[in-house]
Amino acid sequence: MTDKSYQVIEPSLIGKWMGTVKHEGALFSLLSWLVYLLLSRKDEKLSNIEIKIICVEYNEKYPTIGAHYKNPEDDDLEDYIISLIEGYLLKKPAIEFINFYFNNEEEWEYLYTKFISQSP
């Protein structure tokens, strides 16, 4: 099994929360919602990129969004992905995230704790 490398995607709108929030489960659910929205797009630019929540460490471990380019020769799409995420955060009605958070049967705090504990 080979390890994949991921580009860290941290839009400035949420970057300040990474590794600093008290309610990690809420942050984990927000990241999950953003990844869900990105993966739901029928976007040719994103077709050769694997986007998921990854664990990074800077002072402490925390989750963030990562992009793995299936073809290393592909163009860097960090700015494009960040613009999509910031568009979701600024333009999507809050009720869409609230519905995702509460209508999903996930235990967000548990998932966050499990994710961090199982990350290298």
Predicted confidence (pLDDT) per residue in 70-85, tens digit: 988 888 999 999 999 9
Predicted confidence (pLDDT) per residue in 21-72, tens digit: 778 888 899 999 999 999 999 889 999 999 999 998 888 888 999 999 998 8
Instruction: Let me know: does 13 contact 89? Beta carbons within 8 Å.
Output: yes
Q: Which residues of 13-42 are buried (b: 16+ CB within 10 A; e: fewer)?
A: ebeebbbeeeebbbbbbbbbbbbebbeeee
Backbone angles phi, psi at 106, to 5 degrees: -75, 145
